[in-house]
Amino acid sequence: MSLRRQPSEERLLAFAAGTLSFPEAVVVAAHLSLRPVTRPWADLGAAVGGVLLDDQAPETLSSQARREVMARLDAVEPEAEPRPASADPVLPAPLDQFALGPWRWLGPGVHVRDVLGTRQGDCRVILLKIASGQSAPRHTHGGVELTCVIDGAYATEDGVFSRGDFEEADPSVTHQPKVVSKEPCLCVAALDGQILLPGRLGKLLAPFVRL
Partner 1 sequence: MSPSRALDELVLRVGESRDREAFAGLFDHYAPRIKALLMRGGASASAAEELAQETLLTVWRKAHLFDPARASAAAWIFTIARNLRIDHFRRGSVTLHELDFHLEAEEPAQPDAILSGAQDAQRVRAAMLSLNADQAAAIEMAFFQEQTHAEISRTLGVPLGTVKARIRFGMMKLRACIERDRGDAS
**Contacting residues toward partner 1, per CB under 8 A:** 8-10, 12-19, 22, 25-26, 29, 32-33, 36-37, 39-62, 65-66, 68-70, 72-73, 76-79, 81-83, 93-94, 97-98, 117-118, 120
β-pair partners for 179: 154
Instruction: Indicate the residue among 83 and 203 with the shorter CB distance to partner 1.
Output: 83
CB of residue 36 to partner 1, shortest distance in Å: 5
Calculate the CA dihedral of residues 129, 15, 22, 120 and round it to 10 degrees.
-110
Entry field: residues in the chain? 211
In order of 29, 75, 143, the CA distances from 183 in angstroms are 24, 50, 25
Instruction: Indicate the residue among 2 and 60 with the shorter CB distance to partner 1.
Output: 60
Instruction: Indicate the residue among 36 and 102 with the shorter CB distance to partner 1.
Output: 36
List % helix, strand, coil for the chain (3-state, nearest 5).
30, 25, 45
CB of residue 54 to partner 1, shortest distance in Å: 5
**Alpha carbon distance 158, 47 (integer Å):** 33
CB of residue 106 to partner 1, shortest distance in Å: 25
What's CA 168's distance to the chain center, in Å?
11
CB of residue 133 to partner 1, shortest distance in Å: 34
Instruction: Indicate the residue among 44 and 196 with the shorter CB distance to partner 1.
Output: 44
Instruction: Indicate the residue among 9 and 183 with the shorter CB distance to partner 1.
Output: 9
In order of 12, 39, 69, 147, 197, the CA distances from 24 in angstroms are 11, 16, 33, 9, 22
Instruction: Indicate the residue among 188 and 197 with the shorter CB distance to partner 1.
Output: 188
CB of residue 118 to partner 1, shortest distance in Å: 7
Rounded (10°) angle between helices 22-34 and 39-54 = 120
